[in-house]
């Protein structure tokens, strides 16, 4: 294992996922890649995104917006990363499933860490459980109720020791 991927989400649960991904990366001297998606009212065509938190205004994705949002992403994690420099950022605008498969194909992560916002939440075009259980790399979901609650897909469960998750500290992702 050389690279950890984190699906970033600006929330308490997203921060729990970051804390775990950061601990794993720092402790095992791994590269951390942080992926973040702009929110869109559309599941497939994602070139239109929300511009405000109340999700009442949208804008066509453009270079100026991408630069602004990537800067916000870096600033959000800057203090949390302290002196850790083995980190990359990717602002994503496509479908989550498709984008992550491309990133996996480009070897941008060996294990993927995600915040488990709630059971049945849609990720890509599937529930998060269906996505994680059928994705072709190890996935660790953190949350939804506690920072030390971990759910692993089958591939991740085979390497739980390498993920610094002793027996009894994790469980399988429900179907």
**What is the pLDDT at residue 77?**
97
CA distance 145 to 58: 31
Q: Domain 3-38+67-172 adopts which CATH fold?
A: Rossmann fold (3.40.50)
Q: Quick check: 43 pLDDT over 80?
A: no
Q: Which of 92, 101, 144 is nearest to 121 (CA)?
A: 144
Segment 71-128, tens digit of pLDDT: 999 999 999 999 999 999 999 887 899 899 999 999 999 999 999 999 999 998 899 9
Q: Are 25 and 1 in contact (CB under 8 A)?
A: no
**What is the pLDDT at residue 157?**
96
Place of tokens 């429900």: 174
Q: Are 84 and 6 in contact (CB under 8 A)?
A: no
CA distance 41 to 56: 10
**What is the pLDDT at residue 47?**
84
pTM for this entry: 0.93
């Amino acid at each position: 294992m050389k690279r950890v991927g984190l699906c970033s989400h600006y929330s308490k649960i997203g921060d729990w996922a970051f804390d775990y991904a950061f601990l794993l990366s720092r402790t095992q001297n791994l590269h951390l890649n942080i992926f973040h998606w702009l929110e869109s009212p559309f599941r497939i065509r994602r070139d239109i995104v929300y511009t405000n938190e109340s999700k009442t205004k949208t804008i066509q994705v453009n270079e100026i917006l991408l630069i602004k949002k990537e800067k916000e992403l870096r600033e959000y994690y800057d203090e949390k990363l302290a002196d850790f420099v083995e980190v990359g950022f990717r602002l994503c605008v496509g479908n989550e499933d498709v984008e992550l498969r491309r990133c996996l194909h480009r070897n941008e992560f060996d294990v993927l860490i995600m915040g488990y916002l709630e059971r049945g939440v849609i990720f890509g075009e599937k529930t998060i459980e269906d996505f994680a259980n059928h994705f072709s790399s190890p996935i660790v979901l953190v949350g939804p109720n506690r920072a030390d609650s971990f759910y692993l897909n089958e591939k991740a469960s085979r390497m739980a020791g390498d993920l610094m998750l002793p027996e009894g500290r994790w469980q399988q992702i429900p179907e």
